[in-house]
Amino acid sequence: DTEVTQTPKHLVMGMTNKKSLKCEQHMGHRAMYWYKQKAKKPPELMFVYSYEKLSINESVPSRFSPECPNSSLLNLHLHALQPEDSALYLCASSQVNTAIYGYTFGSGTRLTVV
């Protein structure tokens, strides 16, 4: 299995809703990432998990809450989002040495906050 699977592919949620994005990989990668991409902008790093521990939080608002329950799963819990949070949310995984292997990406969740 050489894929990163993200669900759902599309999500529309209200500003008072609570929802979760899921990401799964079975490649034995020990680093997992959440990125946010707005139209015509580069993907921006949100969180990095290394060996199931949060290693980087790029000053992301607390309405985004990541969770890594095991080495194969990465969740992003969403609560009280704003319309400006509408974006493509990409998950990626990698071997720890990204300079050799790079990232494997999921296809993303297109989130719309109404």
Partner 1 sequence: ILNVEQSPQSLHVQEGDSTNFTCSFPSSNFYALHWYRWETAKSPEALFVMTLNGDEKKKGRISATLNTKEGYSYLYIKGSQPEDSATYLCAHNGNQFYFGTGTSLTVIP
Question: Residues 68-97 vs partner 1: string with x where CB under 8 A?
Answer: ----------------------x-------
Binding residues for partner 1, rule CB under 8 A, total 22
Closer residue to partner 1 in complex, CB, 66/106: 106
75, 22 Cβ separation under 8 angstroms: yes
* 66 is a site residue for partner 1 (CB under 8 A): no
CA dist 26 and 59 (Å) reads: 29
Q: Within positions 14 to 53, which residues make up the interface with partner 1, using CB under 8 A?
A: 40-43, 45, 48
H/E run at residue 92: strand 87-94
Distance of CA 42 to the CA centre of its chain: 15
Among 106, 109, 111, 113, binds partner 1 (CB under 8 A): 106
- The torsion of the CA quartet 41, 46, 51, 53, rounded to 10 degrees, works out to 180
The site for partner 1 (CB under 8 A) is made up of 3-4, 9, 40-43, 45, 48, 56, 90, 98-108
